[in-house]
């Protein structure tokens, strides 16, 4: 039974905490495609809808992926064997019947609660409140660090997003001799209100924020949006009370809802652009003006055989004591979107500078197997010629098995990559070699499968002196992760309750 009260009750004495959830929290798989976290910052959980997926290498049927809880325990050692490993920390997370996270907490090596997060949902499983708790470094007690609350209308549209939190920073005037608090705690506020019209378009937005560790003044930003009958925004205006003057944007569209005119105006600057399309609604020309002077032109020419020529021109008229600046770049693409040639002519400090790159391709079974490019640069007392050769090889099943780069000048990679596959066509090895050590990969990914050749059993990432290994049972749910870098090693064990 999935019961919020039953799951949370045992932890109420800890007064739940926040934030020491770094990237280790949801690094269960080497792939982060399912993760709703990035660099320790949580995105809106309403977009995820199944946080259990974060612990799977691959999920064919998400209905079978949901579990009640998962515990992560980290051990560490001062060698690469993990024989004398020590307990480092532990975290536990609970989920509802939709797989959405209800509660998360962590303890340190002394089994003291350091952080926790609680989530509340409405009857439609929209996330409506998130409370983050953290241990106070000064009092060593658990404090409420932040609360974020969402409100929705009867159509499920977000109408309010409010964040209240206490920010902590060092008191740089603190000393044992002078006394006073070692840490300062400052309240922070951020509230956004959104209104919609009868067509579901957001027409008004008001954002109020301020406070925090640097005592920022309360500031309010008000935005207004106007739409045409096809839900295209035609006007927006933003007023910020701490800013002397509104910013305005204007848009016009053709019958196919493509933008043909746009403009931006504020107290200090103004710009506008025109766009032209052909009969097939392909963009053929863009002109941009800044402060009523033409600053940019982009033209697209489409050949009957599918080739495309794009010409870009950046224009700066110069000033009383500055040189004019003009750059024209012409790029030609083949029918597959590959760059055939690119040439650029620039006026730099009154002197012309030209670069040109030409590609020659060789094909095999529809694949580019050789890309030979030559770059020539010419300018005032300057000349350069550079050549680069890129090759690709494919097996009988059209899987890429080798990629090489050679040449290309000072910043060339000169690398080689190889891939291997099993009988089922799944990748078993990906290796990257540099030009200095040709017989030993600099980086390597290894994939080991169960006898069916489809379900992943183990993934090994070798990157220089560090090796990371993930272990998976046949249900694709990660059970262990080892990180070994020669001098130290770490192990994370995952325990699930279904």
What is the tens place of the pLDDT at every residue in 425-436?
999 999 999 888
pLDDT at 182: 63
Can you name the residues that pair with 491 across neighbouring β-strands? 75, 482
Check residues 178 and 216 and name the one with the higher pLDDT: 216
Check residues 308 and 440 and name the one with the higher pLDDT: 308
Check residues 423 and 135 and name the one with the higher pLDDT: 423
Which pLDDT band holds residue 457 (cuts at 50, 70, 90)? very high
Instruction: Return the closest-CA partner of residue 117 out of 131, 106, 98.
Output: 131
Residues belonging to the chain: 498
Instruction: Return the closest-CA partner of residue 376 out of 344, 412, 335, 403.
Output: 344
Tens-digit pLDDT profile for residues 462-495? 998 899 999 999 999 999 999 998 788 999 999 9
Q: What pTM did the predictor assign?
A: 0.78
pLDDT at 89: 95
3-class DSSP state of 3: coil
pLDDT at 76: 94
Distance separating alpha carbons of residues 56 and 35, to the nearest angstrom: 11
Check residues 414 and 101 and name the one with the higher pLDDT: 101
- The residue behind tokens 């809880």 is 69
Distance separating alpha carbons of residues 257 and 275, to the nearest angstrom: 12
Tens-digit pLDDT profile for residues 247-258? 999 999 999 999
């Amino acid at each position: 039974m999935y019961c919020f009260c039953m799951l949370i009750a045992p932890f109420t004495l800890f007064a739940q905490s926040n934030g020491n959830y770094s990237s280790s929290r949801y690094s269960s798989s080497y792939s982060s495609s399912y993760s709703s976290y990035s660099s320790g910052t949580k995105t809106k959980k309403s977009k995820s809808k199944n946080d259990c997926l974060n612990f799977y290498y691959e999920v064919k049927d998400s209905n079978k992926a949901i579990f009640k809880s998962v515990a992560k325990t980290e051990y560490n050692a001062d060698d690469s064997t993990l024989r004398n490993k020590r307990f480092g920390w532990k975290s536990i997370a609970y989920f509802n019947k939709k797989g959405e996270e209800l509660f998360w907490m962590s303890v340190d090596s002394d089994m003291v609660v350091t952080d926790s997060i609680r989530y509340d949902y409405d009857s439609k499983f929209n996330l409506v409140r998130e409370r983050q708790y953290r241990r106070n470094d000064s009092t060593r007690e658990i404090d409420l660090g932040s609360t974020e609350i969402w409100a929705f209308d009867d159509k499920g549209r977000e109408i309010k997003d409010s964040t209240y939190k206490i920010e902590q920073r060092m008191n740089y005037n603190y000393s044992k001799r002078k006394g006073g608090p070692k840490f300062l705690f400052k309240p922070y506020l951020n509230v956004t209100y959104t209104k919609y019209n009868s067509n579901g378009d957001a027409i008004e937005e008001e954002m109020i924020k301020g406070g925090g560790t640097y005592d920022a003044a309360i500031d309010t930003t008000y935005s207004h949006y106007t739409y045409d009958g096809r839900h295209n925004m035609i006007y927006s205006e933003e007023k910020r009370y701490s800013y002397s003057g509104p910013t305005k944007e204007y848009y016009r569209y053709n019958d196919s809802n493509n933008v043909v005119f746009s403009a931006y105006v504020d107290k200090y600057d103004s710009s506008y652009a025109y766009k032209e399309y052909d009969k097939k609604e392909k963009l053929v020309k863009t002109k941009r003006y800044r402060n009523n002077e033409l600053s940019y032109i982009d033209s697209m020419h489409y050949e009957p055989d599918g080739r495309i020529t794009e010409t870009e021109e950046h224009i700066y008229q110069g000033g009383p004591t500055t040189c004019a600046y003009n750059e024209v770049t012409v790029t030609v693409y083949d029918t597959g979107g590959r760059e055939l040639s690119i040439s650029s002519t620039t006026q730099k400090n009154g002197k012309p500078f030209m670069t040109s790159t030409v590609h020659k391709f060789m094909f095999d079974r529809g694949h580019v197997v050789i890309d030979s490019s030559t770059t020539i640069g010419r300018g005032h007392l300057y000349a350069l010629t550079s050549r680069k050769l890129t090759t690709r090889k494919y097996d009988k099943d059209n899987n890429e098995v080798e990629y090489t780069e050679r040449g290309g000048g000072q910043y060339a990679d000169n690398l080689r990559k190889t891939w291997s596959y099993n009988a089922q066509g799944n990748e078993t090895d990906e290796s990257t070699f540099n030009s200095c050590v040709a017989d030993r990969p600099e980086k390597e990914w290894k994939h080991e499968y169960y006898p069916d050749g489809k379900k992943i059993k183990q993934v090994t990432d070798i990157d220089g002196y560090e090796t990371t290994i993930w272990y998976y049972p046949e249900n694709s749910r990660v059970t262990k992760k080892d990180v070994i870098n020669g001098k130290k090693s770490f192990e994370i064990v995952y325990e699930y309750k279904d």
